[in-house]
């Protein structure tokens, strides 16, 4: 970026603190990571619904949805996956600044990329949720038929089959969807946000 020296961040009159005072809750990134078919999108959707019912400002960023627009120019190479997460991290950071709780549902297989996403916001504004599920269960669920195609060699660099997934070494919360119900998982995420005073108890 040769012209980066000419770019100066514009300070707005309405601040993040102003927005927090009006909404009476904080902004945060709730980052759901896990294998395809683990239940990330389903869980993130249910959590958002529960938060929305409380009058909390939310937005859900889903992997497939983002790739239909903002990241439609990206493929699934290691470099493209890294850029995919970088862009999402920047968008999520803007949502936090707007005082929303943004829920992101992405495989995000690499620890370094997830850590970079965490660094985009304050320490107390990022919550990594590892949606854990055994590979064999994900293969059996296979909601999009992707595992079948990957095992048949029709998809290359597919996470869990021909591309690695790096488990989070210290996530803020682990939800095993092969053992926990959707309701239990949802409540665990809500409890985490309440415990960290992002939202109030109700």
pLDDT in tens, 94-148: 999 999 999 999 999 999 999 999 999 999 999 999 999 999 999 999 989 999 9
Distance (Å, rounded) from C-alpha 54 to C-alpha 194?
Answer: 12
| Total-model pTM | 0.88
Residue 142 counted as domain residue: yes
157, 76 in Cβ contact below 8 A?
yes
Residue 190 counted as domain residue: yes
Residue 19 counted as domain residue: no
Residue 18 counted as domain residue: no
* Residue 36 marked ligand-binding: yes
Q: How is residue 62 written in tokens?
A: 């889903």
Residue 11 counted as domain residue: no
Catalytic residue among 72, 77, 98, 108: 108
Q: Phi and psi for 132 in degrees, rounded to 5?
A: -85, 140
Instruction: Using only the alpha carbons of the chain, give its radius of gyration.
Output: 18
CATH number (domain holding residue 42) = 3.40.50.300
Residue 108 annotated as catalytic = yes
Number of separate domains in the chain? 1
132, 177 in Cβ contact below 8 A?
yes
pLDDT(11) > 80: no
pLDDT in tens, 164-178: 999 999 999 999 999
Residue 33 counted as domain residue: yes
* Residue 37 marked ligand-binding: yes
pLDDT in tens, 38-76: 999 999 999 999 999 999 999 999 888 898 888 999 988
* Residue-level pLDDT at 168: 97
* Residue 77 marked ligand-binding: no
* Residue 146 marked ligand-binding: no
* Residue 63 marked ligand-binding: no
* Residue-level pLDDT at 46: 98
Residue 6 counted as domain residue: no
Residue 8 counted as domain residue: no
pLDDT(179) > 90: yes
pLDDT(15) > 80: no
**What residues make up the domain containing 62?**
24-195
Distance (Å, rounded) from C-alpha 11 to C-alpha 54?
Answer: 31
* Residue 35 marked ligand-binding: yes
* Residue-level pLDDT at 63: 80
Mean pLDDT of the residues in the chain: 91
């Amino acid at each position: 970026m040769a012209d980066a020296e000419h770019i100066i961040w514009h300070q707005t009159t309405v601040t993040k603190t102003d927005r927090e005072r009006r909404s009476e809750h904080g902004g945060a990134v709730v980052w759901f990571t896990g294998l395809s078919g683990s239940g990330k999108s389903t869980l993130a959707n249910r959590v958002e619904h529960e938060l929305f019912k409380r009058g909390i400002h939310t937005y859900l960023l889903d992997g497939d949805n983002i790739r239909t627009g903002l990241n439609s120019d990206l493929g699934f190479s290691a470099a493209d996956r890294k850029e995919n997460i970088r862009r999402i991290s920047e968008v999520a950071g803007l949502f936090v600044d707007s005082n929303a709780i943004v829920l992101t549902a992405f495989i995000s297989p690499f620890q370094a990329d997830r850590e970079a996403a965490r660094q985009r916001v304050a320490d107390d504004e990022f919550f990594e949720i590892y949606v854990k599920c055994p590979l064999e269960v994900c293969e059996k669920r296979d909601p999009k038929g992707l595992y079948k195609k990957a095992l048949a060699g029709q998809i290359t660099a597919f996470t869990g089959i021909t591309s690695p997934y790096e488990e989070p070494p210290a996530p803020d919360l682990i939800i095993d969807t092969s053992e926990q119900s959707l309701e239990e998982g949802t409540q665990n995420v809500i409890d985490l946000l309440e415990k960290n005073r992002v939202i109030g108890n109700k």
